[in-house]
C-alpha cells in the first residue's frame, strides 16, 4: 500500500498539469487586420515597393549600399492573416543562377534571420536611439487604459520598447487559443 502512494500523487499532479490551460495573453487582444489588400494605402505602398526594388536592381545600388545584381536574388512575399492570397509578390533570380527559377513556391532555409533583417532595416532608417522608444509611440491604439489599474492582468505597452521586442525580452506571452 505504501508503494502506491507516490505513484498516485504523481499521476494526480500530472493530470492537473495536463488539464491546465496555458496562461492567457497579457494586455488587450486585438483582432488581426482584415482586407488589408483592398486598402488604397496598401496598394500605393505595394506599387512603390515594387517600383523601388526594380529601380535599385537596375541601378545596382540602394540608398544604403550597392547590390551585386549578378549574384543577388530577391524574393519577397507578404501575406495577410485573413486571406490565402498574397498581398505582395516580388521575385528575381540572379543571372548567376542560370537555369533556376525563383517564385512563391521556392523554399528558403533562412531560419529566424528575417527578424534580424527587420531590426537592421529599422536601425538603418531610424538610428540606434529608436530602440528605447515605447511601441505605443508608433501604435497609439495599443494603449490599454486599464493597465494602470491591473498591472498583473494587463500589459503596459507604454513600457514595452522596440528594443525589448527585437531582443525577445518584452515579456509578451504567446496568444492562447
pLDDT tens-place string over residues 19-50:
445 555 556 666 777 888 888 999 999 999 99
Q: What is the mean pLDDT of residues 7-13?
A: 48
Given a cut of 50, is residue 13 above it in pLDDT? no
Q: What is the mean pLDDT of residues 149-167?
A: 75
Q: Please indicate whether residue 153 or residue 57 has the higher confidence score (pLDDT).
A: 57
**Per-residue pLDDT tens for 44-97?**
999 999 999 999 999 999 888 898 888 888 889 988 878 888 999 999 998 888
Give, in degrees to the nearest 5, the angle at Cα 159 between 143 and 79: 60
**Per-residue pLDDT tens for 90-99?**
999 988 888 8
Q: Among all chains, which residue has been given the C-alpha cell 486585438?
A: 30
| Residue 46 grid coordinates | 505595394
Phi/psi at 161 (5° precision): -95, 160
Nearest partner of 62 among 104, 135, 3, 121, judged by Cα: 121
C-alpha 68/C-alpha 102 separation (Å) is: 17
Predicted local distance difference test score (pLDDT) of residue 43: 94
Q: Is 98 left (phi over 0), alpha (psi -120 to 50) or beta?
A: left
Write the DSSP symbol of residue 77: E
**Helices within the chain (DSSP H only):** 2-19, 40-59, 113-126, 162-166
Q: Please indicate whether residue 174 or residue 99 has the higher confidence score (pLDDT).
A: 99
- State the burial class of residue 174 (Cβ atoms within 10 Å of its Cβ: 0-12, 13-18, 19+): exposed
Given a cut of 70, is residue 3 above it in pLDDT? no
Give, in degrees to the nearest 5, the angle at Cα 79 between 37 and 61: 95
Give, in degrees to the nearest 5, the angle at Cα 52 between 99 and 34: 95
Predicted local distance difference test score (pLDDT) of residue 25: 56
Given a cut of 50, is residue 18 above it in pLDDT? no
Given a cut of 60, is residue 141 above it in pLDDT? yes
> At 177, is the pLDDT very low, low, confident or very high (cuts 50, 70, 90)?
very low
C-alpha 44/C-alpha 112 separation (Å) is: 28
SS3 154: coil
Amino acid at each position: 500500500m505504501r508503494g502506491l502512494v507516490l505513484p498516485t500523487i504523481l499521476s494526480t499532479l500530472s493530470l492537473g498539469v495536463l488539464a491546465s490551460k496555458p496562461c492567457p495573453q497579457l494586455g488587450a487582444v486585438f483582432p488581426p487586420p482584415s482586407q488589408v489588400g483592398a486598402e488604397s494605402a496598401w496598394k500605393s505602398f505595394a506599387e512603390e515597393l515594387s517600383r523601388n526594388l526594380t529601380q535599385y536592381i537596375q541601378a545596382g545600388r540602394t540608398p544604403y549600399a550597392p547590390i551585386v545584381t549578378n549574384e543577388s536574388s530577391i524574393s519577397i512575399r507578404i501575406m495577410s492573416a485573413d486571406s490565402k492570397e498574397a498581398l505582395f509578390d516580388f521575385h528575381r533570380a540572379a543571372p548567376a543562377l542560370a537555369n533556376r527559377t525563383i517564385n512563391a513556391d521556392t523554399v528558403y532555409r533562412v531560419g529566424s534571420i528575417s527578424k534580424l533583417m527587420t531590426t537592421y532595416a529599422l536601425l538603418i532608417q531610424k538610428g540606434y536611439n529608436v530602440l528605447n522608444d515605447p511601441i505605443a509611440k508608433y501604435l497609439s491604439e495599443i494603449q490599454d487604459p486599464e493597465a494602470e489599474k491591473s498591472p498583473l492582468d494587463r500589459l503596459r505597452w507604454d513600457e514595452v520598447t522596440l528594443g525589448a521586442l527585437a531582443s525577445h525580452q518584452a515579456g509578451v506571452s504567446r496568444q492562447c487559443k
